[in-house]
Structure 1
Amino acid sequence: MTDVTQPGAMKGKASFWWNLLGVAVSLGLVGAVVWQLGDATSEVLKTIGRLPLLVWPALVLLYLIQPLFDYAIFRRVWNLPLAGIEALLRKNVINEVVLGYSGEAFLYVWARRAATAVSAPFAAIKDVNIVSALLGNLLTLVLAGVTATQLRDLDFGQRLGPALWSGLIPVAISLGVLVFGRRVFSLRRNELVYVAVVSGLRLVCWSVLTILICAMALPDVALSLWVVLLALRLLVSRLPLISNKDLVFGNLMLLLLGVHSTVAVLLAALAVMTLGLHLAVIVGLGAVDLARSLRRVSGSPGPIAAEVGGARPPGP
C-alpha cells in the first residue's frame, strides 16, 4: 500500500520550483506581448476594462472546461472523488505555464501516491491523452480545411511555415496510433468510447465558448473571422513543446494583424487575462498547501490525502 503520510517537504520544494519556473516563463511571454504591443499596451488594459460583464464568468468557465471534463473522465476510469479536482487544476496549470504534457507527469506521480486503488495510472493517463490528441488533431484538420482560403489570405503559412512543420509530429503520431491502436491502448473498449465522447464534448464546448466570448467582446466582427482564428489557435496548440499557448497565440495575432487591430488587441487581452487565472490558481493552491503545512505543524488532524493535493484515495 502506498504511504501518503510522509512529510511533504520534497513535494513542496518540487512544487515551488515548478511554480517558479512557470511564473518566469509566463512573465517572459507577457513581456513579449508588451514589447510587441509597444504604445498599444494601454489599449489592452482599456480593452480589458471595457469587456462586457458576461465575458468574465464565461472566461472562467472556459478556463475550467479542461479540469472539469478531465474529472468526468477520471471519475469513470479511477472513481476519482470530487477532491481530485485540485490535482487536475494543478495538472492544467503545469501544462499551460511550464511545458505541454508536464502536467501529465505530475498527475501520474500524484495518482501513484494518492490513489492506491489505481493499479496502472500510466495506462489511463496515456490512453486519455492519446484519444484527446486524436480528436484535437481531427478538429484542427477539419477547421484548417474549412478555412484554408482565409488562412492563405492571412499569409500564415509563408510567415510561420517552418514552425508549422513541427506540428506534423503529433499528426504523424496520431496516424501511427490508428494503425497500431490495439497495441497502444490499455483501457477497455467501453472506457475508450466514454473517453472519446467526453473529450469530443469538451472540444465542442471549448470551441463554442471561445467563439462566444470573442463575439460578446466584439459583436461587430463577422462570425466567420472568429472561426478562422479558432483554426489558427488549434494549429498553434498542435505545436509541440510550447508553453502558455494563449500568449503565444496572442503574440502571433499581433504579428499577423498588427498592433492597431482591435481583434489582435482583444486576443492579447484575453491571453493576459487567462494568464491571470493561471497565476490565481497557483497562488490559491499555494495558500492551500501552506494552510495544510501549518495544520500539520500544529498537530491538527487532517485528511491523509492532503499530502498529495487534497484528494482521497478513490474507493473500489
Structure 2
Amino acid sequence: MTETIIPLPAPEPGGALRKWSTYIGPAISVAILVAVVLELRKLNWVLVWSIIPTSPLIWTVLFFSYMAGPFSDWVIFRRLWGIPASGIFPLLKKLIGNELLLGYVGEVYFYDWARRHVKMEGSPFGAVKDVAILSALAGNIMTVVMLIVTWPVIRELQFGEVMELPFGISLKLGVNVLAISIVFILLTSVVIMFFRNGLFSLPRRDLWFVFGVHCLRLLANTGLSALAWHLILPEVSIDSWLLLSTVRLLLSRLPLIPNKDLAFAGLSTMLAGKEVQTGVMIAMISMLIVATHVVIFISLMILDLAQKEKNA
C-alpha cells in the first residue's frame, strides 16, 4: 500500500515581519509623513500655484498619467486577491512611499496592509514579490525594445561629447557607459528568467497577466507623458514629445548613467530645440507631481483618522 504524503505548507518568507506587523504600517506611514513635511518645506507653493495648468484636458491627461501605476497595481491585485475598490488607497500610499522615501518601501507597506485586510490562502509575500520582480523585468524589456526602435535618433544625440546645458552646466554621456548599462539590464533580465522557477510563486497564467499589465502601464505612461507635454507646449510636434518620453524611460532604467535629470534636460533641449522652454515645463510637472503626492497623502491620513473615529 502506497502511503500518501501531504506536503506541509512552505514557511512564509515574511514570517519575521509577522511579529512586527502591528508596527510596520504605522512606522512607514510616519516616515512618509516626515518626508511629506520635508517636501512641504521645500516646495515653493506660490510658484506651484502660478504654474498650475488651466486647461481641463491637461489636468485629465496628468491625472490618468499619475494614476496609471496605482490603477495597474489595483487591476493586478484585484485578479490575484479580489481586493475591493478601496484597495486603491493603500496602493496610492505605496506609490508615494516609493517616490518620497526609498524604492520598495511602498511594497513593504502594501504587504503589511494586505496581511491585515485581505483574506486569502497562503501569504501575500509571494504575490507582492512576484509583482515587483515582474515590474522590473517589464521595465528592462521595454527599455531594450524602445532603445532598438529609437536607436536611429539616439545615436545622433552626441553620446561621448560634452553637452552644454542651461545655467552653465556641462554633461558628458559616454558610449561605453551606455553600453555597460544596457548589458547590465540584459544580464539582470537573463538572471531573472534563468532562476524563474525558484523566484516566482504565482501560477504561470497569473505571471503572464501581471507582466502584460506592467507593459501596458509603461506604454500608457510614455504616451500620456508625451501628450501632456504636447498640450503644454503645442509648438513641438507630438512625435518629438513621444520620442522624448521614450528617451526619459530609457534614461530612468539605465543604472550607470550619471545625473539622469541633467541628461534628460539636455537631451530634451536637443530634441525640442533651444528656443522651447522644455526645462521650465519639466520642472513644472515635477513640482506638480510632488505637490500631488503631498496633497493625496495628507488627504489619505485625514480619511484614515475619520474612519477610525467612525469605527470607535
| Cα displacement (A) at 1:86 | 0.9
Does residue 151 in structure 1 map to residue 166 in structure 2?
Answer: no
User: Is the CA contact (8 Å cut-off) linking 1:93 and 1:103 kept in structure 2?
Assistant: yes
Show the counterpart of 1:198.
Answer: 213
Contact 1:26 1:275 in 2 (8 A): no
Amino acid paired to 1:87? P
29, 36, 45: which is aligned to 1:15? Answer: 29
Kept in 2: contact 1:94–1:102 (CA 8 A): yes
Following superposition, the deviation at residue 53 of structure 1 comes to: 3.0
Q: Which moved more, 1:70-79 or 1:216-225?
A: 216-225
Map 1:297-308 → 2, pairs under 5 A: 299=312
Distance in 2, matches of 1:205 and 1:84, equals 21
> What is the deviation of 1:105?
1.3
User: Given that residues 98 and 106 in structure 2 are in contact (C-alpha distance below 8 angstroms), is that contact kept between their aligned partners in structure 1?
Assistant: yes
Match of 1:61 among 64, 67, 71: 64
Distance 1:22 1:157 in 2: 38
> Are 1:90 and 2:93 counterparts?
yes
* Distance (Å, rounded) in 2 between the aligned partners of 1:98 and 1:239: 20
- In 1, distance between residues paired with 2:124 and 2:185? 22
For residues 41-99 of structure 1, give each alpha carbon's deviation from its aligned partner in whole angstroms, at most 9, with x where no partner exists.
Answer: 97x876x3566331112101111111111111101111111111111111111111111
Counterpart position of 1:183: 198
Amino acid at match of 1:54: L
Change (3 A) 1:50 1:132: closer
2:29 maps to amino acid: S
State the TM-score, normalized to the length of structure 1.
0.74
Amino acid at match of 1:83: S
Q: Is the 8 A contact 1:26 1:97 kept in 2?
A: no
What is the alpha-carbon distance in structure 2 between the residues aligned to residue 176 and residue 143 of structure 1?
A: 21
Deviates more, 1:126-135 or 1:186-195: 126-135
Q: CA deviation at 1:123?
A: 0.9
For residue 173 of structure 1, the aligned residue among 163, 175, 188 is 188
- AA at the equivalent of 1:55: I
C-alpha deviation, 1:17, in angstroms:
2.3
Query: Residues 51 and 217 of structure 1 are in contact (CA less than 8 Å); yes or no, is this contact kept in structure 2?
Result: no
Q: SS at the partner of 1:75? A: helix
User: For 1:113, which of 104, 116, 130 is the aligned residue?
Assistant: 116
Partner of 2:303: 288
> 3-state SS of the aligned residue for 1:221?
coil
Task: Describe the SS at the equivalent of 2:55.
Answer: coil
1:67 and 1:116 map into 2 onto residues whose CA distance is 21
Does 2:266 align with 1:263? no
Q: How far has the Cα of 1:223 moved from its partner?
A: 3.2
- Give the superposed CA RMSD: 3.6
Please identify runs of 4+ aligned residues in structure 1 that moved more than 4 A. 7-11, 25-28, 160-171, 248-252, 258-261
Asked whether the 8 Å contact 1:254–1:265 carries over to 2, the reply is: no
Q: Which has the higher contact order (CA 8 A, sep 6+)?
A: 1
Check the 8 A contact 1:22/1:98 in 2, yes or no.
no
User: Displacement of 1:289 after TM fit?
Assistant: 2.3
Partner of 2:168: none
Deviations along 1:239-269, one digit per CA (max 9) or x if unpaired, are 56xxxxxxx8655444553997412221111
The answer on 1:130 being equivalent to 2:133 is yes
Task: Give the unaligned 5+ runs of structure 1.
Answer: 32-40, 241-247, 300-316
- The equivalent position to 1:142 in structure 2, one of 141, 145, 154, is 145
Q: Retained in 2: the 8 A contact 1:250–1:264?
A: no
Query: Which residue is equivalent to 2:225?
Result: 210
- Computing the radius of gyration from Cα coordinates, the structure with the larger value is 2
The 8 Å contact of residues 95 and 102 in structure 1, kept in 2 or not, is answered as: yes
TM-score, normalising length from structure 2? Answer: 0.74
Task: Compare 174-183 and 82-91 and name the one that shifted more.
Answer: 174-183
Write the letter of the residue equivalent to 1:20. V
Letter in 1 for 2:83: L
* 8 Å Cα contact 1:127/1:187 also seen in 2: yes
**After alignment, is 154-163 or 71-80 more displaced?**
154-163
Mapped contact 1:70–1:88 kept (Cα < 8 A): yes
| Contact 1:166/1:239, CA 8 A, preserved across alignment | yes
Query: Relative to structure 1, is the Cα distance of residues 233 and 267 closer, same or farther in structure 2, using a 3 angstrom cutoff?
Result: same
**Percent of aligned pairs sharing the same letter:** 33
